[in-house]
């Protein structure tokens, strides 16, 4: 069973160091917990039981079911962006959910990001100078995987709804190039053509 233990730490007097006391045990997950994050009064967990759980203080957790083990999560509400989205890494896919209403999470998009399990998701805010000379920022998502690669994705691309992406790709007309005529690699000389004609006549 996947269990989370909440401890209270208090600084001891003198050289006693820190003292810990167990305050609470949470056993909502059925098996291994792969990642834990906390922010804005919410505890976020990713588990091998194929769920992400969002637990507000003093409430039962909300579940986001996945088709396979969830190895990592990135709730944007706990970052400087403070957006109501959570990114998850399950299998080789990155999924984005709108959790404005955590009791009814909405799948926004999913991307086949790697060819092996996604193991970490982090936010990177790129700073650059725009054409107008002003300092600008652009949020990117960094993903790491058991395929041995680290990749980066524009957050704006990941937040595009699947329906609009599919509609856009479906409405685009693809130009089909006509295959070029294959060149004849074998060329006969005039003398060889005459000899062939004589043989055909015999």
pLDDT of residue 65: 97
**Does residue 96 lie within any of the structural domains?**
yes
Domain range enclosing 66: 2-11+28-163
**Does residue 181 lie within any of the structural domains?**
no
At 57-82, the pLDDT tens digits run: 888 999 999 999 999 999 999 999 99
**Does residue 84 lie within any of the structural domains?**
yes
Entry pTM: 0.74
At 4-44, the pLDDT tens digits run: 999 999 987 777 788 899 998 999 999 999 999 999 899 99
The count of C-alpha atoms lying within 13 angstroms of the C-alpha of 20, restricted to the half-sphere facing its C-beta, is 5
pLDDT of residue 93: 97
| Residue 144 binned pLDDT confidence (cut-offs 50, 70, 90) | very high
How many structural domains compose the chain?
1
Q: In what order do the strands lie in the sheet with 118-129?
A: 118-129, 135-145, 150-154
At 169-198, the pLDDT tens digits run: 333 333 334 444 444 444 556 665 666 566
CATH of the domain at 108: 2.130.10.10
């Amino acid at each position: 069973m996947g269990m989370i233990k909440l401890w209270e730490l208090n600084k001891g007097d003198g050289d006693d160091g820190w003292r810990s006391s167990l305050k609470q045990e949470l056993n909502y997950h059925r098996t291994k917990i792969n990642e834990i994050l906390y922010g804005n009064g919410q505890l976020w967990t990713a588990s091998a039981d194929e769920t992400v759980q969002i637990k507000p203080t003093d409430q039962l957790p909300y579940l986001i079911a996945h088709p396979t083990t969830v190895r990592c999560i990135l709730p944007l509400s706990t970052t400087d962006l403070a957006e109501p989205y959570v990114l998850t890494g399950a299998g080789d896919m990155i999924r984005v959910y709108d959790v404005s209403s955590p009791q009814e999470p909405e799948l926004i998009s999913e991307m086949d990001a790697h060819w092996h399990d996604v193991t970490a998701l982090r936010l990177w805010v790129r700073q650059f100078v725009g054409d107008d000379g002003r300092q600008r920022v652009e949020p990117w998502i960094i993903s790491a995987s058991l395929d041995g690669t680290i990749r980066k994705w524009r957050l704006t691309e990941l937040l595009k709804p699947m329906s609009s992406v599919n509609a856009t790709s479906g409405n685009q007309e693809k130009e089909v190039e006509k295959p070029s005529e294959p060149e004849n690699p074998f060329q006969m000389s005039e003398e060889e053509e005459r000899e062939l004609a004589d043989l055909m006549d015999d």
